Structure 1
Amino acid sequence: MKTRLGLIGAATIGAALLRAQTPAPQTTPAPVPRTGVEGRALEFDFPSIEIGVAEYDEGPTGATVFYFPKGVVATVDVRGGAPATVNTDALRLSYPSAFVDAISFAGGSSYGLAAATGVADGIKTERAGSGAWGNIATVAGAIIFDLGGRRFNTVTPDYDLGRAALRARRRNSFPLGNRGAGRFTTQGGYFGDSLRQNSGQGGAFRQVGTTKIAVFTVVNALGTVVDRRGRIVRCGRATVTGCGTIAERIARKVATVGSPARAERGSSDSVPGVPTESTTLTLVVTNQKLAYWALQRLAVQVHASLARALQPFNTENDGDVLFAVSTDEVDNQSLSEPDLGLIASEVAWDAVLSSVPEALPPRSITRANVDAGTLDQYSGEYSLSPAVRVQVRREGTRLLIQGAEQVGIYLRKGVPSELIPTSSADFVIDNPRGDRLRFDRDASGAVTGFTINSGTWPVAATRIR
């Protein structure tokens, strides 16, 4: 027995020594929630709603929380072919009581549903931890897909970000554009990369008599945003007057259906291999007292109307979800349910239009003169993630970038793209989107990597040789 115990002890000591000699794996610092936002915001008068946003710049990604201090009656309408939601089954039970405390929208695909748990736990903390039935926090939510082709890390909204968004809430203000859950959204990819543009979250408000109607949306649509004159709102860096109409774009698309060239490309003009997972999340809030069935019909009517503002809409690649809630405060007899739905539908269109970020200034197409020696300094291999690498090389006076595989929405598989210099360090990728790329240097002047679209939607790469 002593011998057996001795062998076990020796094995245990040996394993401990081996662990001590094995270097600990390097850990990536945890992302830090940012709740201070700047830029455009919708200012409105609806004190029964409190809204908070929080973001991880390391993603970039974010979460948006709508908190109702007195609770709301809520319904849901799920239309998209790829939804991901939490606690929506409870909203289909027709209970007339105001038992929903908050709605959570987040990026991060299904991982982002964890933000809703953080929101619920934050509410529990604020309620002094009471376990009484009436004090249990009910949070419903949904997410968008903002991973994959647009960024190459795995930073996603989580419990901590949900709590941070709840703590940051305030009344009567809603950040617009690339904020919160809309931090890294896109729209328009169905029609090809020239129309695949960044979008964001939008909001609009209207009051009719005593009835208040607010609509908030996170636009991450496969379809493109369309204004009331049928014009495509954003394509590349062109203004709304230079993008053409949706009717023209659809006619062009229909004409290619079934063509051999299209069959080779696939079912969409999007670059093969690029993820097209898309979703538009919407919340309609009114203070009008409504029976549960009327609130559900409001959700259906408004959701259907969004097919005017986003075309196409509710595709198999979209996870579209709309929540409708009532704070149950006024009884405006002069406003019928269909009229309320009509007005709310117009407010929803306004909300979608406000989601598009302000246009960046046109990119300079003036080619800068950069000497061969400087271009050679940029030549090398770069890592966007452990699984995604690209090569940069000089050919004569041109600098080319290429990935062995598809590099998201930025580079085609196996096809080199020119980096057109606009300064000694700044370049424009010769792709349909015209993405910007800037090489980074350390204090000694050595090239350490590059950043695509530095600013709100940065995608960073590290030089590995």
Structure 2
Amino acid sequence: MQNLITDVRGLLVGHAHDVAAGTGVTAAIFERPTIASAAVLGGAPGTRDTALLDPEMTVEHVDAIVLSGGSAWGLGAADGVMRWLAKEGRGFPVGAFRVPIVPQAILFDLMNGGDKPWARGEGETPYARLGAEAAAAASARFTLGTAGAGYGATTANLKGGLGSASARAATGQIVGALVAVNAVGTATIGDGPHFWAAPYERDGEFGGIGWPAAITSDDTALRFKGGTGQNTTIALVATDAVLTKPQARRLALAAHDGLARALRPAHAPLDGDIVFAAATGYSGAPSDAFAMTELCATAADVLARAAARGVHAATALPFAGARPAWRDRFGH
């Protein structure tokens, strides 16, 4: 176990980023077509091909899930991932052709200080290229923090980032999470170093400092970043269990609890919070509703941990006025 979503068999993750632009892409590539669904609880989502993930829709399996910066411009990242998958002979069979199924979600990182001329109508966006590079780089090991879709991410007070975590549920099956934290609020309590997700931490994975001795009304006062459209936390949870598409939808809904545990606030009108859920099917199916509940609870826990890890591991962007990283302020 590496404490990464790739502990779930059948799943690889790759990143690509543009340093000058301060943005990036993360691609989760499934080794075979995989059951998936999603749940959107934020008020301002940006997505591509997510309607097909509804349980009543025909297509059940996906080939990849893409998380990207770039706001709506970033939706081009899936084009690059599709081209890479097509070269690998992957996709939904339609006559003599195969169409790779690649749902995607984006976050807003346009105002982090990077140079993004395409947002002014100048030149082409880099996202299709970054998508292809991220897919080609997919492996069992990948970087956390300022990487991939989390490269340009921020929170209200600190640099955001790309996080991941995993655990073995009481059922014996593995559940993992991958998240790009670009929240309208905070992952930390008040003005201090403590993470809201501290009760769920394992083995000091984001500092091991727990909660503060007391949490005051000042600590729970809401802190906001930016305005409408400048936020979104996007995530994928995966398990090696055998799930139906409706069960994957339930897993995604339950995993949103992890965002609520790790970020204050979550699911706001200003956020586009979405969680994808995938089941690679290499271990058994849940034996009953209680076993499914174990998977759901584990998914929420690992997503909370992953969100804190993403902020904890981040490094500040090299731009004037960039938000400080947790390690810059509290690393001592």
TM-score tier (shorter): 0.7 to 0.9
Of residues 250, 256, 262, the one that matches 1:303 is 256
Deviation at residue 346 of structure 1 after TM alignment: 1.0
Q: Counterpart in 2 of 1:174?
A: 142
SS at match of 1:222: coil
Of residues 83, 87, 104, the one that matches 1:141 is 104
Q: Counterpart in 2 of 1:323?
A: 276
Of residues 144, 167, 179, the one that matches 1:206 is 167
Deviation at residue 244 of structure 1 after TM alignment: 8.7
2:159–2:324 CA contact under 8 A, matched in 1: no
Structure 1 residues 41 and 162, CA gap change in structure 2 (3 angstroms): farther
% identity of equivalent residues: 30
Deviation at residue 318 of structure 1 after TM alignment: 0.8
Q: Does 1:123 align with 2:78?
A: no
Q: Counterpart in 2 of 1:216?
A: 178
- What's the TM-score once normalised by structure 1's chain length? 0.57
- Cα distance in 2 for partners of 1:309, 1:128 equals 36
SS at match of 2:14: strand
Deviation at residue 82 of structure 1 after TM alignment: 1.2
Of residues 142, 153, 161, the one that matches 2:116 is 153
Q: Counterpart in 2 of 1:30?
A: none
- Return 5+ residue gaps in structure 1 as ranges: 1-39, 190-195, 254-267, 362-383, 385-406, 411-432, 436-452, 454-465
Q: Counterpart in 2 of 1:337?
A: 292
Q: Counterpart in 1 of 2:204?
A: none
Q: Choose 330-339 or 59-68, whichever is displaced more.
A: 330-339
Deviation at residue 289 of structure 1 after TM alignment: 1.5
| Aligned residue type for 1:184 | G
Q: Counterpart in 2 of 1:312?
A: 265
2:241–2:281 CA contact under 8 A, matched in 1: yes
SS at match of 2:240: strand
SS at match of 2:256: helix
- Cα distance in 1 for partners of 2:25, 2:299 equals 24
Q: Counterpart in 1 of 2:46?
A: 84
Higher relative contact order (CA 8 A, sep 6+): 2
Q: Does 1:350 align with 2:318?
A: no
SS at match of 2:268: coil
- Cα distance in 1 for partners of 2:315, 2:143 equals 18
Q: Counterpart in 2 of 1:72?
A: 34
- Return 5+ residue gaps in structure 2 as ranges: 119-124, 197-207
Superposed CA RMSD in Å reads 3.5
5 Å matches for 1:181-260?
181-187=149-155, 189=156, 196-208=157-169, 210-226=172-188, 232-233=194-195, 247-249=216-218, 251-252=220-221
**The structure with more strand, counted as a fraction of residues:** 1
SS at match of 1:162: helix
1:118–1:159 CA contact under 8 A, matched in 2: yes
Structure 1 residues 87 and 76, CA gap change in structure 2 (3 angstroms): same
- What's the TM-score once normalised by structure 2's chain length? 0.78
- Cα distance in 1 for partners of 2:224, 2:99 equals 48
| Aligned residue type for 2:158 | Q
1:118–1:161 CA contact under 8 A, matched in 2: yes
Aligned residues: 301
How far does the alpha carbon of each residue in 1:371-392 deviate from its partner, in whole angstroms, 9 at most, with x for none?
Answer: xxxxxxxxxxxxx9xxxxxxxx
